[in-house]
Amino acid sequence: MDGFICKESLERSSVAPDNDQEIDTGFLGTSKHLSQDGDKIITEAKGIGHLFGRRSSGNDSPYTASPSSSQHFCVSISGRPPRGKRAFLCGVSYKKQKFRLRGAINDVHSMRDFLVEQFNFPLDSILILSEEESYKPPTRKNIEDGFKWLTRGLQFGDSLVFYYSGHGLRQADFNGDEKDGFDETLCPVDFLTEGMILDNYINEAIVRPLKLGVTLHAIIDSCHSGTMLDLPLVYNKITGNWDDNQPPSGAYKGTNGGKAICFSACEDHQMAADTSALSQENVMTGAMTYIFITAIKEAIANKQRITYRGILDSMHKTLDEDNKVESLRAQISRLFKHRIFQEPLLSSSEDFDVNTQFKL
């Protein structure tokens, strides 16, 4: 298998609660993975290749999920989604596998609560795939069915969200669709037997069906996620312009009249991280998920106008200036012998003013 799956554990001294427990941090939902040891901060990179050689007992995680059943509202994956706002949230933990992720469950709960509390998404409009008992597992088939649910019966004015927290890979591109020669992929819980989900498929499944008046926002928290939707434009933060990302093959990667916008955890050649360093309670979260939600909630709290550029700038600022994150950056760089830490990216199906207001 080409590529990487990148979440290796790193530890450093800190202070954390003594046991797994349900707490209210104001950011996360009710399921939280906390350090039982009380003196460790865990960081995991969100890709896989180097982990296949790592031995695992299957129960080496110091965290366990303890979700509240009252927080679960299960939406039928085969049903018809409601009009207006709808979201498909996918968190892959890879339980009992050596490349297990401990932040994915927290990420999904955080995103669910964020959409409900900040953007008034009804609970019955949010489809969740997770390895918790109350939800369908994030298998390849279920994720593909989730894409169908998200784009079923679209009408003018619908606002869609696709969120993914899990491992990401890249593999050689043989279709001439990628400028860098690699396809980006999502890794379902059963990807070792059923295969990965390629960016080409994702584009066909949730970008191409978007009709006039329909908007999709994707938030992808994985390694190699920069162009995970294969969108034709990538925002250049340095120049302030949109760079052309159309495939050399000439294949059409746009919508059917709608609009698709994607926030990614990192560029295609980079790796992303889950960490317990960002949370004051040492809760495991995706770094990208945490800083994305925090950027918007802080803007709302300060009564600031929320723009796409503002969100991206805030995310970069946190990763560039936060002392904890800088320490993690150094640790991960030493582990992989080269610079792999994440730089969030914005891509789109069309040119638009990034200073316009962000809304879901």
Task: List the catalytic residues.
Answer: 167, 223
Nearest-angstrom CA–CA distance, 166 and 269:
16
Nearest-angstrom CA–CA distance, 307 and 80:
32
- Residues near 122 by beta carbon (within 8 Å), at least 6 away in sequence: 82, 85, 116
Q: Which of 108, 22, 86, 26 is nearest to 298 (CA)?
A: 26
CA triplet 53, 32, 164: central angle to 5 degrees? 65
Nearest-angstrom CA–CA distance, 119 and 68:
23
CA triplet 12, 15, 16: central angle to 5 degrees? 105
Q: What is the DSSP string of 92-113?
A: ---TTSTT--SSHHHHHHHHHH
Q: What one-letter code names the amino acid at 200?
A: N
